[in-house]
A and B are shown apart, each in its own frame.
Chain A
Amino acid sequence: MNTFAMKNRSFSRRRGLTLLDMIISIPLVGIALVAALNTVGASKASQFKVDNMRQGHLLAQDLMSEILQQDYTDGDMAQATRKTLMSMGSVTYPLGPDNVPGRNEVATGNRSLFNDVDDYDGWVASPPQAKDGTTYTSMTGWSRSVSVVFVNANDLSTAITVDNGNKRITVTVAYNNIPAAKIVAIKTIGLPLLEACCFDGGFCENLRAEACATQGGTSQGTDTYCANTTCPTGPTVLYVVADTANLTAQELARQTLMASWGFGIQLIRASASQSNYAKALIGVDVAYISVEVAAIDLGTKLTNATVGVVNANVPLISSLGFASGSTFYVNLSAVNVVDNTHFITSTFATGTLTLSTSTQWFSEVVSGIAGGAQVLATIDSGKDSLFVIESGDLLVGGTPAAGRRVQLPWGDVSFDFNALSADGQTLMKRAIEWAAQKPAICGDGNCDTGEDTCTCPADCGAQAAFEQPGVNCNDGLDNDCNGSTDCADPNCSTDAACLICGNGLCELGEDCTTCVTDCLSKSNGPKSGRYCCGNGIAESAEGDGSICDGNY
């Protein structure tokens, strides 16, 4: 036992480390371990930085992409105007979200109402949030800020104070106030967008909105192209209905019929405000009031409209100034045309005209018709039923009509529109077409249909001194007002459009080159045309040879 114990003790002594070993090894190992652990720590820290950087760039990219999708500006200034001002270097406006009546973009406290690039100027959010204000989760400590400035295209580093079409956007992302990422990008006024632009007759052209207006067309709005737009071939009608969102079957039938005529149709609710009517009337040619409209809803909103008004609503006769007396309805199917000299009735003979396929309630004015009214058809033994008032002629009360007016012979709510006969439809179509035309009033500043430089130089410009070949000999106008138009005017005899090759006459302007049939080897007419000068043949009568192949 003793021996074993001694052996054991000896073994234990041999097995352990000496103090010296420990003293040397512990610092060495410690140093090595610290260095090794530092390496691990450094790698961890580096990884953290990489993660932060990546996170930061993703956040910056997210916001920058959102900003670049916005428009350059709010669009509250016409692009043409803006460009003109830009060219003068004088467009200035505060950057940042708008907060003006009708456009408070900061109302929500988030970016949901931001709609142009500079709305983002000064935007700061911590933690970051989506456009609708939803806060990103697990983003504590992160913040995003945006700065937007005007810059010149040739110096993107220097901010300027005027807008010349370029904005520099800088998105900065920070983590615990230490910048983690920064992205810079440029947004410019960009390419102008084209819109379908409709012209009279249904012609369509893709144009910028301002170019469309300049050329007298009607822009069809953003995201429209001629390929997906059918331009009206007839007038544009402001169709007044009871409820634009819920047309009655009768209103719908009327709309369908007008559309089939190629009329452009713009609906408006009868109860719309006067200012909305004013805006709507700008782009239309004529207003049509359906019988479904409650008189109290429309009131006098169209009484002074400068466009034509076609009324099929008898309760509105008084407020529109058509008549002040009583009105009645009579159950029948035909009216009596008493005046077919007017455009509306000119396709019909005077006398009975059947307007409906079954008896319907037609309207008549018993008394108090406007002084300027021209009655075209009557019912019930001479009571006025269909009548018109020319622009400028007197309405009830002696006020001149601001535009053309038509009172249709139907106007009771029980009138079945589907019962309208073909002649009835024609009457309605022509009534709208007539009311849509601007009357030719010389001196009103418009060169209207029927006016020209001869009949109304005040509106159409001074007449030309004479018809001029190559200038106005093919425009269908008697420019010098001498009673001869284009080729009929002797002044146009040399115009290319007036030279008739093949009529056997070597006319002024024709020669053996341009019209060999009429001019070759002719002995009369102008010298240049008598023989073919330049054909290489010395023809006998070409003269002395100083100019031509032969002599003349």
Chain B
Amino acid sequence: METTRFRACRTVPCHSLGKHRRRAVAYVYFLSTTILVSVIGLSALMYARIQRRSAQGGDQAMIARFYAQSALELGFAQISLDPNWRTNLSSGAWFTDQPIGDGTLSLDVSILNDGDGNPDNDPVLLVGTGVHGLSTHKMEVTLTALSVKGGLVAAIASGKRNLN
């Protein structure tokens, strides 16, 4: 061991070189450990931030969906509570950026011409939009006329909802 060590000392006194190297190595060890721990910590912090962003995005999307659904609900109520809704409510935005919770909701309605010449039977497309944070969710329902009797228009929405 000694032999090997002293063989490397050619230009500077070996005892001086060894002493400094050992000190430097010790510092390097400490520094490396510290940097490693810092890097691990920062990485974890960064990962947590990403996770948080991701979770927030998911949560916001989910809440936006509830807002969009709420927008459609409000549209259904408008139709339900006004027997003359086809006359009294025109196509277009029924609600725009209506505040709800920490976000907003909007509802756009358009009449789809089914070409049967009877506008009272035309399908109606409701598009509900919910916005929360950076997330926007759109949900749409088409109400399709089933039959007409006594001047009342019967319609069924996609799914099980229907109206008369």
Chain A residues packing against B (C-beta within 8 Å) = 10, 14-15, 17, 21, 25, 28-29, 32-33, 35-44, 46-47, 49-50, 53-54, 57, 61, 64, 68, 83, 86-87, 153-154, 156-157, 164-166, 168, 170, 181-194, 205-208, 211, 215
Q: Which of B42, B58, B59, B67 is most buried by chain A, counting CB atoms within 10 A of its CB?
A: B59
Chain B residues packing against A (C-beta within 8 Å) = 15, 18-19, 22-23, 26-27, 30-31, 33-34, 37-38, 40-49, 51-52, 55-56, 58-59, 62-63, 66-67, 69-70, 73-74, 76-81, 95, 98-102, 105, 143, 146-147, 149-150, 152, 154, 156-157, 161-164
Q: Which of B40, B161, B164 is most buried by chain A, counting CB atoms within 10 A of its CB?
A: B164
Task: Indicate if the CB atoms of A57 and B59 lie closer than 8 Å.
Answer: yes
Task: Indicate if the CB atoms of B100 and A184 lie closer than 8 Å.
Answer: yes
> What's the Cα separation between A54 and B99 when bound, in Å?
24
Which one of B26, B70, B101, B154 lies within 8 Å of A206 (CB-CB)? B154
> What's the Cα separation between A46 and B44 when bound, in Å?
9
> What's the Cα separation between A187 and B66 when bound, in Å?
10
Smallest beta-carbon distance B145→chain A, Å: 11
> What's the Cα separation between A191 and B143 when bound, in Å?
10
Smallest beta-carbon distance B15→chain A, Å: 6
Instruction: Give the interface SS of chain B, mostly helix, strand, loop or mixed.
Output: helix
Smallest beta-carbon distance A75→chain B, Å: 14
Task: Indicate if the CB atoms of A184 and B59 lie closer than 8 Å.
Answer: no
| Interchain Cβ contacts under 8 Å between A and B, 19 examples | A10-B15, A14-B18, A17-B23, A21-B26, A29-B30, A33-B33, A33-B37, A36-B37, A36-B38, A39-B41, A40-B37, A43-B44, A57-B58, A157-B99, A165-B77, A193-B161, A206-B164, A207-B164, A211-B164
Shortest 5 CB-CB distances between A and B: which pairs?
Answer: A39-B41, A43-B44, A184-B101, A188-B77, A36-B37
> In the complex where A36-B37, A53-B56 touch, is A188 in contact with B44 (Cβ < 8 A)?
no
> What's the Cα separation between A185 and B117 when bound, in Å?
38
Task: Indicate if the CB atoms of A53 and B38 lie closer than 8 Å.
Answer: no
Task: Indicate if the CB atoms of B76 and A191 lie closer than 8 Å.
Answer: yes
Chain A residue with the shortest CB-CB distance to B77: A188
Smallest beta-carbon distance B141→chain A, Å: 9
Chain B contacts for A47, CB-based, 8 A:
44, 47-48, 51
Task: Indicate if the CB atoms of B81 and A87 lie closer than 8 Å.
Answer: yes
Smallest beta-carbon distance B140→chain A, Å: 15
Task: Indicate if the CB atoms of A61 and B69 lie closer than 8 Å.
Answer: no
Smallest beta-carbon distance A40→chain B, Å: 4
Chain A contacts for B101, CB-based, 8 A:
170, 182-184
Given A39-B38, A190-B161, 6 further pairs, Cβ under 8 A: A32-B34, A37-B37, A50-B52, A61-B62, A165-B81, A191-B80
Chain B contacts for A57, CB-based, 8 A:
55, 58-59, 62-63
Smallest beta-carbon distance A329→chain B, Å: 51
Smallest beta-carbon distance A181→chain B, Å: 7
> What's the Cα separation between A191 and B81 when bound, in Å?
9
